[in-house]
Amino acid sequence: MPGSRAQAFVRFALEQGVLRFGEFKTKSGRLSPYFFNAGLFNDGACVGRLGQFYAQALVDAGLDFDMLFGPAYKGIPLATAASIALSNHPARGDLPVPFAFNRKEAKDHGEGGLLVGAPLQGRVVIVDDVITAGTSVRESVALIRAAGAQPAAVLIALDRMERAGADDALSAHSAVQDVEQTYGIPVVSIAALTDILSLLEDDPALAQYRDAVSAYRGRYGV
């Protein structure tokens, strides 16, 4: 993603209250001085704009794919927004952009099961908000493969650039690099932790958070 677009995205996330500074616990149990809560992209206009950022990042990456998959819960509206924006993107012509998502708990009535939306088939792009330790992506890859489809790429809003693993046994690489190596698929991100650090450098009102975010990167990041 070109630097200026990544910067515009980080600023957009800040304005929506999606990007926040303070103290937050991540899914992997770390105490993070910042958090990206994509659930606060919560009205039609900003979800529309978010979808355009995702679509442009995927188009710029020049990847071939057949459909999108959004992991529950927050990946569901993200994949939906990206699908709508890709359908309207001039570079995609009239190509359809089917999407699917999972339930966290299997439904045992009606249509039943874990998967909702288009049948998982062909080359599937996983659409999510962030990668921290990579757990959500690993679960999505397993679901896609179990359905007989192939994971083709991961598309995220923010690469937190963190290494997975226990504090005393951190991976040598970031979780994004581990995903790319393990599955042989690219991870495309709209922005990364380095773009947040640039924002903290550039905006005097945010300078107070710079040291904590830099220290967190020093401890867990690449």
Ligand X SMILES: O=C(O)c1cc(=O)[nH]c(=O)[nH]1
Ligand Y SMILES: O=P(O)(O)OC[C@H]1O[C@H](OP(=O)(O)OP(=O)(O)O)[C@H](O)[C@@H]1O
Stretch that binds ligand X, among 24-32, 98-106, 180-188, 207-215 (CB under 6 A): 24-32
User: Would you say 169 and 175 are in contact if contact means Cβ atoms under 8 Å apart?
Assistant: no
Does position 73 interact with ligand Y (CB under 6 A)? The reply is yes
* H or E element that contains 194: helix 193-202
Distance CA 144, CA 104 (A): 15
Q: Could you confirm whether 25 is annotated as catalytic? A: no
Does position 130 interact with ligand X (CB under 6 A)? The reply is yes
Residue 32, beta-bridge partner list: 24
Q: What is the DSSP string of 120-146?
A: --SEEEEEEEEESSSHHHHHHHHHHHH
User: Would you say 113 and 83 are in contact if contact means Cβ atoms under 8 Å apart?
Assistant: no
CB of 182 to ligand Y, least distance (A): 13
Does position 214 interact with ligand X (CB under 6 A)? The reply is no
CB of 105 to ligand Y, least distance (A): 12
128 binds, among ligand X, ligand Y, none (CB under 5 to 8 A by kind): ligand Y
Residue 25 counted as an annotated binding residue: no
36 binds, among ligand X, ligand Y, none (CB under 5 to 8 A by kind): ligand X
Distance CA 36, CA 173 (A): 22
Pick from 138, 220, 215: which is nearest to 181 by CA? 138
Does position 177 interact with ligand Y (CB under 6 A)? The reply is no
Q: Could you confirm whether 107 is annotated as catalytic? A: yes
51 vs 71, which CB is nearer to ligand X? 71
Residue among 129, 159, 178, 195 that touches ligand X (CB under 6 A): 129
User: Would you say 159 and 187 are in contact if contact means Cβ atoms under 8 Å apart?
Assistant: yes
User: Would you say 151 and 116 are in contact if contact means Cβ atoms under 8 Å apart?
Assistant: no
Does position 25 interact with ligand Y (CB under 6 A)? The reply is no
User: Would you say 96 and 124 are in contact if contact means Cβ atoms under 8 Å apart?
Assistant: no
Residue type present at position 128: D
Does position 135 interact with ligand Y (CB under 6 A)? The reply is yes
User: Would you say 195 and 130 are in contact if contact means Cβ atoms under 8 Å apart?
Assistant: no
One of 25, 89, 107, 173 is an active-site residue; which one?
A: 107
Binding site for ligand Y (CB under 6 A): 27-28, 71-74, 128-136, 175
Q: Would you list which residues are annotated within the binding site for orotate?
A: 35-36, 132, 160
Binding site for ligand X (CB under 6 A): 26-28, 35-37, 129-130, 132
Q: Would you list which residues are annotated within the binding site for 5-phospho-alpha-D-ribose 1-diphosphate?
A: 27, 73-74, 103-104, 107, 109, 128-136
